[in-house]
Amino acid sequence: MLEVMKDREDGAEPNEPAWRKSYRSAMIELNPAALPAKVTLAVRELAARSQQLLPARDPASLAEWQAIADALNNLSLIDKHESTSIEAATPADSARPPGQPTAPRS
């Protein structure tokens, strides 16, 4: 009983697929340093689940296929946003050695 309550406290449902847990973990991650690893794990688990569903081609799994596609799209947006944020926070001139002139901009 305590384990079921613990699972529900962190938002997990009983018998929830692993990909949903890792996806949720990536979506709520606030630490920018931990986010890439969580996104990578979620994408791997989504890909693994897709491979499991593929041979069955069960119409009953259509809702899960849609949820997987939505999850991959959301993770892709997070990944793009994080990459853009990192590039914006790292000016090109910060990579030059001290004392070197700034490269002319065209």
What pLDDT does residue 12 have?
61
Q: What is the mean pLDDT of residues 8-25?
A: 80
The string of pLDDT tens digits covering residues 19-76 is 999 999 999 999 999 999 999 999 999 999 999 988 877 888 899 999 999 999 999 9
Packed helices 35-53 and 62-89: angle between N→C axes, nearest 10 degrees: 160
Stronger pLDDT, 22 or 1, i.e. the higher one: 22
CA–CA separation, 37 and 25 (whole Å): 11
Residue 8 pLDDT > 60: no
Residue 53, Cβ neighbours under 10 Å: how many?
Answer: 15
Residue 90 phi/psi, 5-degree rounding, is: -120, 90
Question: pLDDT higher for 100 or 17?
Answer: 17
d(CA 52, CA 21): 17
Handedness of CA 78, 84, 88, 92 (dihedral sign): positive
pLDDT digits (tens, 9 = 90+) for 88-98: 655 554 454 44
Other CB atoms within 10 Å distance of the CB of residue 98:
4
Q: Which amino acid is at 1?
A: M
pLDDT at 7 (0 to 100):
45
- The string of DSSP codes covering 3-31 is HHHHHHHTTPPTT--HHHHHHHHHHT---
